[in-house]
């Protein structure tokens, strides 16, 4: 019997299951913390011809127009603004901005584009993989030439031009997209957050660790979250790819942080630690001039 | 626009409860272990123009030495379907039961009845290479040397629907729902996707798929003939082999050529249309697959959901995942 109990003990999982990663208190509305304003919009792109998408803009209550605001862009934005989702970014922003743990930051949450169906019974052409997985400056140009000017105009806000005040975040293909934006345009975005990032061969992204090692370092700050039980499929092995990315960033001397958990291909772990991720990302924000 | 918003929002509502749509489509979903290419017709000059009918009979041409449009029936027997015709590079059956033919050497497009007679000329003084016919009777064809895609509408009127987007437009196919036209570049490395507008014009070209290219010529994949399966996967013949793409344009694998020769045409035919046929040099080959071809003379349909016979551990991975927009879209479409 004793032996049985012992066996049962050592057989218990010693790691967290994916479902054990849950949003913490910083992802709950707190009393006395003013709420920012979240609005929903649509956009028809010319840089991604014919694509339409929904996006959301979060303006913190503290933004008063006296100086430019920092900005943080999210891929698959609809998931990040979901009130009962894994991230609940607007609530986290409310709390952290109020506590002075991150700057006054305007959040831009973009869904991937679709070329909508026009013939009866036909389906949209989904542009997510093309937009997120392609190694080029196209998505960065889409942000800097289409979206950010649109946000400034419609919300009458001024976004910081200082790339250290501009962050970008995404999950999976949205994660490699965040890195690509910084890699292609360090003059525009320097703070990168990737959860379960697809640094795999979906459209050639597996080359990044090699590129990072043999390219003069770029002034990026990179946060990578990954899970040991993430995907292993025709495009690659996600845990290995993220370990390769982290090792390359270490080798090349980047300002980076790598958090390896035990989760799967979901946003749960990234969501659970998201407030701390933002604290790390913006840790020296008071020294920045937006 | 309204439609887009509502479908995306509906998607969000659903994606917590929805099961995982198999978003990754490896070659193992298509190829069968132990099944290899087998030659079904030999002794030609340069095989091309593969197409099929509702019964799974295969039609093809020999663009170099051919004197007929050939047919291989269910029993594997070859016959001349149309005699005394040469230089044919593209074939497709239309919904009207007629066979549409690109006569490259004759610089025209013609059609034949289901008995191989009653030839009608649709267009002349053109440089057609390959064609596809939609269920609503629009014929789209590539003009490789002039970088054009043209359309012949059901009334027989020919118009240029794209010019200059693709260096050497060659292979041409549709999504299973006929909403997207895909065209390969013989002088580049992309397969381009176009939205087919209600009026039959082409809109919003995107270099949606990137083909694998030879080391020695990294910008030119030699994209040629194309086909689509019922799950919305695209197949394109190239210098490197038969390349397969998932419905979102991600390269999913390269199927080896049957022999070291020009691989230029592909279609699904045979029993249940579950055999891949390719034209490769002097021979036509086929191999059995786990999938079936999309047939454009039949009613358009949404891409069928692929169900892996064995449940994968990955089943619930996308639950509560903000990245599962793509999956949400599939759920919405399934609901329609």
User: Which chain A residues touch B317 with a CB distance below 8 Å?
Assistant: 231, 264-266
B168: CATH: 2.120.10.30
Q: DSSP for B77-131, please give it.
A: -EEEEEES---EEEEEE-TTS-EEEEETTTTEEEEE-TTS---EEEE-S-----E
Yes or no: say if A182 and A221 are a contact pair by the CB < 8 Å rule.
Answer: no
Which pLDDT belongs to residue A120? 82
Tell me the backbone φ, ψ of residue B333, rounded to 5 degrees.
-65, -35
pLDDT tens digits, one per residue of B151-198: 999 999 999 999 999 999 999 999 999 999 999 999 999 999 999 999
Two structure tokens written together for A79: 């998931």
- The average pLDDT across A277-286 equals 98
Within a domain: residue B42?
no
Query: Is B153 near chain A, with CB under 8 Å?
Result: no
Cα B186 to its chain centre, rounded Å, is 15
Tell me the backbone φ, ψ of residue B203, rounded to 5 degrees.
-135, 160
Nearest to A49 among B5, B205, B321 (CB): B205
How far is the alpha carbon of A242 from chain B, nearest alpha carbon, in Å? 17
To which H or E segment does residue A248 belong?
helix A238-251
Cβ <8 Å between B1 and A42: yes
Total residues belonging to chain B: 336
Cβ <8 Å between A118 and B321: no
User: Which chain A residues touch B198 with a CB distance below 8 Å?
Assistant: 118-119
Name the residue ranges covered by the structural domains of chain A: 31-284
Give A7's pLDDT tier (boundaries 50, 70, 90). low
Q: Residue A171: which of A199, A147, A191 has the closest Cα?
A: A199
What ranges in B186-277 are assigned the alpha helix state H? none
Which pLDDT belongs to residue B304? 83
Within a domain: residue B147?
yes
Query: Is B1 near chain A, with CB under 8 Å?
Result: yes
Report B:65-124 residues touching A (Cβ under 8 A): none
Q: Residue A290: which of A106, A90, A91 has the closest Cα?
A: A106
Cβ <8 Å between A128 and B326: yes
- For residue B232, give its domain range: 61-257+295-335
Yes or no: say if B114 and B144 are a contact pair by the CB < 8 Å rule.
Answer: no
Which pLDDT belongs to residue B22? 39
Cα A192 to its chain centre, rounded Å, is 7
Residue in chain A closest to B177 (alpha carbons) equals A122
User: Which chain B residues touch A50 with a CB distance below 8 Å?
Assistant: 195, 203-204, 206
DSSP β-ladder status, A191-195 and A166-171: parallel
Query: Is A239 near chain B, with CB under 8 Å?
Result: no
Cβ <8 Å between B325 and A117: no
Which pLDDT belongs to residue B19? 29
To which H or E segment does residue B14 belong?
helix B2-14
- The CATH code for residues A31-284 is 3.40.50.1820
Side-by-side strand order, sheet with B108-112: B88-93, B99-103, B108-112, B120-123
B269: Cβ contacts below 8 Å, ≥ 6 apart = B50, B51, B52, B56, B57, B58, B275, B277, B286, B293
Cβ <8 Å between B300 and A86: no
Within a domain: residue B50?
no
Which pLDDT belongs to residue A2? 61
How far is the alpha carbon of A234 from chain B, nearest alpha carbon, in Å? 6
Q: What is the dihedral of CA A124, A202, B280, B283, to 10 degrees?
A: -90
> Domain count of chain B?
1
Give A6's pLDDT tier (boundaries 50, 70, 90). low
Cα–Cα distance for residue pair A80/A23, rounded to 1 Å? 12
Which pLDDT belongs to residue B105? 94
Within a domain: residue B266?
no
A170: Cβ contacts below 8 Å, ≥ 6 apart = A74, A75, A76, A132, A176, A177, A178, A193, A194, A195, A197, B323
Question: Testing the interface with A: which of B16, B301, B322, B329 to mutate, by most A Cβ within 10 A?
Answer: B322
pLDDT tens digits, one per residue of A79-119: 999 999 999 999 999 999 999 999 999 999 999 999 999 98
Query: Is A24 near chain B, with CB under 8 Å?
Result: no
Within a domain: residue B313?
yes
Cβ <8 Å between B324 and A79: yes
Residue in chain B closest to A267 (alpha carbons) equals B321
Cα–Cα distance for residue pair B6/A116, rounded to 1 Å? 12
Within a domain: residue B210?
yes
DSSP β-ladder status, B131-133 and B120-123: unpaired
Within a domain: residue B153?
yes
Which pLDDT belongs to residue B322? 38
Beta carbons within 10 angstroms of residue B115's beta carbon: 9
Nearest to B197 among A118, A130, A233 (CB): A118
A15 or B83: whose pLDDT is higher?
A: B83
Cβ <8 Å between A265 and B325: no
pLDDT tens digits, one per residue of A201-231: 999 999 999 999 999 999 999 999 999 999 9
Nearest to B26 among A76, A202, A233 (CB): A233
Two structure tokens written together for B22: 């198999």
Cα A132 to its chain centre, rounded Å, is 12
Nearest to A112 among B180, B210, B325 (CB): B325
pLDDT average per 10 residues of sequence, chain B (336 residues): 42 32 81 97 98 97 97 93 97 97 97 97 98 97 98 97 98 97 98 96 97 97 98 98 97 98 98 97 98 96 71 37 34 30
Yes or no: say if A18 and A264 are a contact pair by the CB < 8 Å rule.
Answer: yes
- The average pLDDT across A188-212 equals 98
Cα–Cα distance for residue pair A282/B140, rounded to 1 Å? 54
Q: Percent of chain A scored above 70 by pLDDT?
A: 94
Q: Percent of chain A scored above 90 by pLDDT?
A: 92
């Amino acid at each position: 019997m004793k032996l049985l109990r012992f066996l049962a003990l050592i057989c218990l999982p010693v790691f967290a299951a994916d479902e054990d990663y849950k949003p913490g208190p910083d992802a709950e509305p707190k009393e006395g913390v003013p709420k920012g304003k979240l609005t929903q919009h649509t956009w028809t792109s010319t840089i991604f011809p014919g694509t339409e998408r929904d996006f959301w803009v979060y303006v913190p209550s503290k933004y008063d127009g006296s100086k430019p605001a920092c900005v943080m862009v999210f891929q698959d934005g609809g998931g990040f603004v979901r009130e009962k989702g894994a991230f609940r970014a607007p609530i986290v922003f409310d709390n952290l901005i109020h506590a002075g743990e991150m700057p006054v930051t305007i959040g831009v949450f973009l869904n991937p584009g679709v070329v909508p169906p026009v013939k009866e019974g036909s389906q949209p052409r989904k542009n997510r993989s093309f937009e997120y997985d392609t190694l080029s400056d196209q998505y960065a140009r889409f942000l800097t030439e289409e979206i950010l000017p649109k946000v400034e105009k419609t919300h009458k806000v001024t976004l910081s031009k200082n790339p250290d005040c501009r962050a970008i975040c995404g999950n999976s293909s949205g994660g490699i997209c965040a890195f690509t934006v910084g890699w292609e345009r360090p003059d525009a975005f320097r703070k990168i957050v990737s959860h379960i990032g697809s640094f795999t061969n979906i459209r050639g992204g597996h080359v990044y660790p090699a590129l990072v090692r043999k390219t003069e370092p770029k002034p990026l700050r990179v946060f990578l979250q990954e899970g040991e039980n993430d995907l292993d499929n025709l495009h690659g092995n996600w845990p290995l790819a993220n370990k390769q990315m982290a090792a390359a960033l270490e080798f090349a001397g980047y300002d980076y942080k790598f958090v390896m958990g035990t989760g799967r291909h979901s946003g749960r772990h990234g969501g659970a630690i998201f407030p701390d991720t933002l604290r790390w990302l913006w840790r020296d924000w008071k020294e920045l001039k937006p | 626009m309204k439609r887009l918003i509502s479908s995306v929002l509906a998607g969000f509502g659903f994606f917590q409860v929805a099961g995982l749509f198999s978003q990754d489509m490896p070659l193992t979903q298509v190829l069968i272990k132990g099944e290899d290419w087998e030659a079904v017709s030999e002794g030609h000059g340069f095989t091309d123009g593969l197409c099929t009918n509702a019964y799974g009979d295969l039609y093809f041409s020999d663009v170099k030495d051919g004197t007929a449009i050939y047919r291989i029936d269910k029993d594997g027997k070859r016959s001349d379907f149309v005699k005394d015709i040469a230089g044919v590079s593209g074939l497709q059956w239309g919904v009207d039961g007629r066979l549409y033919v690109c006569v490259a050497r004759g610089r025209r497009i013609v059609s034949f009845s289901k008995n191989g007679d009653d030839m009608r000329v649709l267009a002349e003084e053109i440089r057609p290479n390959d064609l596809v016919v939609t269920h609503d009777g629009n014929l789209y064809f590539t003009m490789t040397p002039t970088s054009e895609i043209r359309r012949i509408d059901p009334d027989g009127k020919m118009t240029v629907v794209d010019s200059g987007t693709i260096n050497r437009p060659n292979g041409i196919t549709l999504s299973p729902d006929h909403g997207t036209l895909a065209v390969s570049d013989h002088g580049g490395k992309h397969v381009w996707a176009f939205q087919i507008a209600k009026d039959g014009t082409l809109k919003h070209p995107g270099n949606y798929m990137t083909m694998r290219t030879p080391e020695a010529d990294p910008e030119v994949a030699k994209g040629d003939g194309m086909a689509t399966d019922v799950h919305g996967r695209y197949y394109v013949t190239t210098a490197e082999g038969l390349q397969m793409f998932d419905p979102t344009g991600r390269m999913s694998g390269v199927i080896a050529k049957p022999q070291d020769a020009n691989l230029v045409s592909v279609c699904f035919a045979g029993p249940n249309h579950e055999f891949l046929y390719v034209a490769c040099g002097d021979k036509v080959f086929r191999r059995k697959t786990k999938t079936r071809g999309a047939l454009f003379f039949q009613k358009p349909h949404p891409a069928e959901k692929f169900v892996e016979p064995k449940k994968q551990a990955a089943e619930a991975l996308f639950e509560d995942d903000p990245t599962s927009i793509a999956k949400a879209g599939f759920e919405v479409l399934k609901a329609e």
